[in-house]
Every structure is written in structure tokens, then in C-alpha cells.
Amino acid sequence: MAYLSSWRSPSNIALVKYWGKYGVQLPRNPSLSFTLSACHTDMKIIVTPETSKPELIVLYDGKERPSFEPKIKSFLSLVQDRFSWIPHASVVIDSTNTFPSSAGIASSASAMSALALCVTDIDDQINARNGVPDEQWWRNVSGIARLGSGSACRSVFPVASLWGEVATVAGSSNFFGIPLADRLSSLYHSYQDTILIVSTEEKKISSSAGHEMMNKHAYAESRYDVANKNLLRLLDCMHSDNEIDLFMSICESEALQLHALMMSGDEPFILIQPNTLSIIREVWNFRKESGIPVCFTLDAGPNVHLLYPAAHKSIVLSWIENNLSVFCADGFYISDEIGGGPEKLL
Ligand code: PMV
């Protein structure tokens, strides 16, 4: 008998960055992210347990994609003590991303959270558990997604998520993300994220290498300390609509710190590009001149995420089209916004 599951799961963008890990994908500092909407992965998996010919077939948009196999194999072997059917099953995985894979946007958060959802759902089917997923179920999925890619554990909650132990946040853990929507003012529930694609090239340095670099980074301890403080400050100011200036300065400082860490390790590297800096300059000028609260954050790459309240959407989008698209590869940018979390498709 074969089992089928299909889920849509979104990407997320960290405001307080996870950079540095220990053990099996456990974070050195807590992180906080917005859950996105337009940027997501749709995944379908078909599992035949107890087959005489266990195999793994990995497809992307219906076509074989062997380059995805190593990451999926290592994820499946990490979770096989929880899902005892894995070693004896035939598993076919097919996925597509809504954002072009060449867009330089990390797809591991959306793909690995989708995979965690599908595998957990299949396990529920095999064991005839058919209750409605509760809080514990989502926490469990988040912990499983973490094993695929740390940041993926934050993708399974609507609006925003916190991953990592914070003494003052009950239920927070290094092992899984928790939902944050209830703690944020409604302003942040409809926040916009326009992603300016500065380069579509593949990253030259993997995030694993970046995390590894933190193990002997001269600034590691002070970074973890600042990240903890920024997380508390951000949580505090996102509680109301009135501290948007503080929100913006923490977001931008976090983004630049991430890249400053890359530039100041033993084997330094630079992922931002001249156009990244041109955009940052334009953002600061525009904000000063217009008073519109638009700020930036960066992922581990040259692309710029512009964050702003929905009320300013049309003016910001026309400013982007007129003034910033010139810094984007082929003028390409993606209009995204805060999203409602994963959806079961089948
Ligand atoms: O989940 P990973 O191992 O790809 O690391 C993600 C690292 C950053 O995207 C740079 C920051 C973050 O918190 O998402």
C-alpha cells in the first residue's frame, strides 16, 4: 500500500539572525523571523513502506534532480529513529518552488519544512492517527524541520516565529520554533517584504560553512550576547505600533552584523555586492526624505529584503520600480508579504 502527502510551506526571513550552531542543528543564539507567503515550496511525497526494493527518488517539477539527494538522504537518516518505516520504504519526493531556483533565495527553509510536514503526515497515516494537528504536533514538526535546516523550523508558523531558548519566553526552546503572532502588534501581521534580486548566482559559501566559521570566530561570544539582547528588544518593540524606528534600527543592525561576521572571520568572505550597498544607501535617503518607515534586512547573500507596513505598499512599490530596480539583476524583484504558514494540499 502506498501513502501520499502534499504540503505547501513558506520561506521565512530572519530579523534576528541564527548564525552559529552546535550539536545537531542547535542554535548558539535565539532567532526571530517573519513567515513569508509568495515564496514557498509545494511538495508531494509518495511512500511505499515495507517494499522489497527500498529506494529514494528525488524530483523537482517532475524531473530527476540528483543534486538535491544528499541533503534529503542525510535528513532521512537523521529522522529514521522517529520514523522506523524509512529504511524499508520506497520514497518519491517531488517539489517545486514558486520563486525561481536561480533567484538566489534560500529554498532550504521552505523545502525542509515541507518535507518535515509530509513525512510527519505520512507517519500519522501509517499509524492511523487522524486527529486535528494541535500545538504539540506543530512543535514536533518544527523540531523535525530543524534537522533538515535550522532556519526551516521557523517556517511552520503563521506570521512570525521564535527559535531558541529565551528565559523570559515560556515554551521557547533550542529544539523547535514557537509561534509569535500573538505577541506582535497587528501592524506586523500585514508587513510587506519586497525582495530585490541583486544577483541570481548560486551562493559560493554554504550556510553550513558560515555556521562552522563561528566556532572559532573572535567575535562569537559578543555576537551571541548582542543577538540575545536584540531579540528581547525586538520582541518588546514589536508589541506596539509606536516603536517602528527601533524596530528598523535593530533589523538593519542584525543584517549588517551577519555580513560583518562573514567579513571578519579567519577565512573571510564577502557575499554582498556593490548594488547591495547602493540599495542600502537609497533606502536610507528615501526614509529620511519621505518619512516612510521602510528598512532592509539581508540573508546570507547579496539580495535585499525591504520591510515596510502594508499602508505604504503602493508608494514604496513605485519607488522601487523607479529607483531600485536598476540595481536588480534584469530588474527582478519579488513582492512578498507576511503569510499564514503552511497549507495541506492533499
Ligand atoms: O538554516 P541555515 O543553516 O541555512 O542557516 C540560515 C542562516 C541565515 O539565513 C543567514 C539566518 C537565519 O536565521 O535564517
Mean pLDDT of the 207-224 span: 96
Query: To which residue does cell 517602528 refer?
Result: 244
Percent of the chain with pLDDT over 70: 99
pLDDT in tens, 126-138: 999 998 999 999 9
Written as nine digits, the cell of 62 is 517532475
Residue 198: what are its φ and ψ, rounded to 5°?
Answer: -75, -35
Cβ burial, residue 109 (10 Å; 0-12/13-18/19+): buried
pTM: 0.97
Ligand 1 centroid, distance to 313 Cα (angstroms): 27
- Nearest residue to 155 (alpha-carbon basis) of 111, 194, 196: 111
Is 149's C-beta closer than 6 angstroms to any atom of ligand 1?
yes
Query: To which residue does cell 534584469 refer?
Result: 330
pLDDT in tens, 25-80: 999 999 999 999 999 999 999 999 999 999 999 999 999 999 899 999 999 999 99
- Nearest residue to 153 (alpha-carbon basis) of 345, 344, 341, 343: 341
Crossing angle (nearest 10°) for helices 69-79 and 135-148: 130
Query: Quick one: pLDDT at residue 316?
Result: 98
Query: Quick one: pLDDT at residue 200?
Result: 87
Mean pLDDT of the 319-326 span: 98
Ligand 1 centroid, distance to 51 Cα (angstroms): 36
Query: Quick one: pLDDT at residue 105?
Result: 76
The phi-psi region of residue 313 (left if phi > 0; otherwise alpha if psi is between -120 and 50; otherwise beta) is: alpha
Mean pLDDT of the 146-168 span: 98
Non-local CB neighbours of 287 within 8 Å, separated by 6+ positions: 248, 293, 294, 295
Q: pLDDT category, 216, cuts 50, 70, 90?
A: very high
Cβ–Cβ contacts within 10 Å for residue 292, how many? 14
Cβ burial, residue 236 (10 Å; 0-12/13-18/19+): middle
Query: To which residue does cell 523570559 refer?
Result: 168
Residue 158: what are its φ and ψ, rounded to 5°?
Answer: -65, 150
Ligand 1 centroid, distance to 46 Cα (angstroms): 29
The atom number, within ligand 1, closest to the CA of 208 reads: 3
pLDDT in tens, 168-211: 999 999 999 999 999 999 999 999 999 999 998 877 788 999 99
Is 14's C-beta closer than 6 angstroms to any atom of ligand 1?
yes
Round to whole Å and give the CA distance between 106 and 41: 11
Round to whole Å and give the CA distance between 286 and 275: 16
Query: Is residue 104 over pLDDT 80?
Result: no
Mean pLDDT of the 290-317 span: 97
Query: To which residue does cell 514558486 refer?
Result: 98
Quick one: DSSP state of residue 293? -
Shortest-distance Cα residue to atom 10 of ligand 1: 300
Is 17's C-beta closer than 6 angstroms to any atom of ligand 1?
yes
Round to whole Å and give the CA distance between 213 and 207: 10
Is 108's C-beta closer than 6 angstroms to any atom of ligand 1?
yes
pLDDT in tens, 247-276: 999 999 999 999 999 999 999 999 999 999
Is 34's C-beta closer than 6 angstroms to any atom of ligand 1?
no
What DSSP line would sit under 140-200, residue for residue? HHHHHHHHH-GGGGGTTSSSEEEES--TTSTT--SSSEEE-GGGS-HHHHT-EEEEE-S--
CA dihedral 177, 194, 250, 17 (to 10 degrees): 40
Query: Quick one: pLDDT at residue 102?
Result: 63
Query: Quick one: pLDDT at residue 178?
Result: 98
The atom number, within ligand 1, closest to the CA of 206 reads: 4
Query: Quick one: pLDDT at residue 226?
Result: 98
What DSSP line would sit under 189-204, residue for residue? HT-EEEEE-S--SPPS
Measure CA 97 to chain center.
14
Instruction: Taking the CA atoms of 216, 260, 112 and 160 in sequence, report the sign of the dihedral they define.
Output: positive
